[in-house]
Structure 1
Amino acid sequence: MEVLLKDLVSSSKLLSDFKEMYDYENRLKTFTNWPFVENCKCTPENVSLNMDASILSYFWYTVTKCKVPHVSMCTLKISCEPLLGLSFKLLNCLLQMAKAGFIHCPSANETDVAKCFFCLIELEGWEPNDDPWEEHTKRRSCGFLSLTKQFDDLTMEEYYMLEMTRLRTFLCKTGRSIINSFEEEVAATRKRLVDNFVSNHQYTPQPPVPIQADPTCPPSESS
């Protein structure tokens, strides 16, 4: 039970932190510790680069091409400085991932996990020719990707409706995870009790009644 409570506290913090990820630059900053720098699937071309005008020009060109709103050269330099020194191909990959709503959420066993801050889909095992936007859209309908206007152009009402969708998605997934963990703990406790009664009192156990899933929550997806 203590572990479940810790998970709940951690999830509550993420719920608040992810609210800042509507901002493109905040998403991009999460990739400063991306594990693949050279000789990996995501970076078949690796050319060491220095922080100079040509690099920032490349960043600026890519961001403009991606139509990322309200990003100045000054703020771009601050956001991207930790990423400099990587190959052009990897830089473009990370920029495209941030544009598609992904943030870097590594774990001990999977260091290249990228998660959408909005719909929470997780993808890993990126290939050289993967298009982050395409990989995202073909796996789940995401309210963030479905926006018909730039985020900064949303009205207050549109923003609150968008946030309601994000919160509902987050709470459904978090609740489902906690319920699953709780059910596993209940099953383990029940087994210990049943084994004790069977061995000591010749008890014949009844099969457990399955718990129905909440139909209002979207199914969990990851790849």
Structure 2
Amino acid sequence: SNQAQKMSNGSDVHAMFVYSKRLETFLGWPYVSKDGAKCVAEKMAATGFFRPNPESEPDLARCFMCKKEMEGWEPNDDPHDEHRMHSSKCPFLHDKGKDLLDITIADDIKLFYVKEIQSALKASEKFLAEFNQKHETCCDELKN
């Protein structure tokens, strides 16, 4: 449903594929370049991050692609380095032979499909693990 695609702040999850929409979530972000900070709003958004709940969790950032959440940002934290360190397999970071801001519509579509495939794989892995657990339980019961 449409409601399922909404974040708690009312933003559309799919809108977070767009840099300018991610950047909008950083309004009021405390780190700015004039203070020498590296984790400025523009770099956060360019690296795939958005703020899902700016009112209740002001320094929580989530990657739109891998869903990695990070908080406790320090001014000298580089968003790209932190993202790569904590979510090294994020497709958004690996699909780049170019600047993170030079994403084409075709790139977005490719990332969208990669994300959907990852979600489906995770759901099937969870289902398979639950199925195997139930199978083992049934087998044990039959043996007894």
Give me the TM-score of the superposition, normalised by structure 2: 0.63
Q: Is the 8 A contact 2:26 2:50 kept in 1?
A: yes
Specify which structure has the bigger relative contact order, considering alpha-carbon pairs within 8 angstroms and separated by 6 or more residues.
Answer: 1
- Counterpart selection for 1:128 from 75, 82, 88: 75
Aligned partner of residue 145 in structure 1, secondary structure:
helix
Is 1:30 the counterpart of 2:25 in the alignment?
A: yes
- The 3 A distance-change label for structure 1 pair 131 and 23 is same
TM-score computed with the length of structure 1 as normaliser: 0.43
**Deviation, structure 1 residue 168:** 3.0
Distance in 1 separating the partners of 2:39 and 2:77: 12
1:102 is aligned with what amino acid? F
Alignment of 1:13 onto 2:11 = no
Over the matched positions of the two proteins, sequence identity in percent amounts to: 32
> For residues 16 and 82 of structure 2, what CA distance do their matches in structure 1 show?
19
Is the contact made by 1:120 and 1:170 (CA closer than 8 Å) also made in structure 2?
no
Question: By how many angstroms is 1:165 displaced?
Answer: 1.1
Q: Distance in 2 between matches of 1:151 and 1:118?
A: 14
Which residue pairs with 1:142 in the alignment? 90
Tell me which amino acid in the other structure corresponds to 1:165: V
Q: Which letter maps to 1:166?
A: K
* Aligned partners of 1:119 and 1:170 also within 8 Å: no
Residue in 2 aligned with 1:169? 118
Query: How many residue pairs align between the two structures?
Result: 120
Residue by residue over 1:147-198, the C-alpha shift from the partner in whole angstroms, topping out at 9 and shown as x without a partner, is: 224321x64xx6543221112334567x59xx8xxxxxxxxxxxxxxxxxxx
The reply on whether 1:151 has 2:100 as its aligned counterpart is no
Q: In the alignment, which residue of structure 2 is the partner of 1:47? A: none
After TM superposition, give the deviation of residue 88 of structure 1 in Å. 1.9
**Which of 109, 112, 121 is equivalent to 2:59?**
112
Residues in 2 aligned to 1:143 and 1:97: alpha-carbon distance in whole angstroms = 16
Residues 23 and 50, structure 2, Cα contact 8 Å, conserved in 1? yes
Match of 1:96 in 2: 43
The equivalent of 2:136 in structure 1 is: none
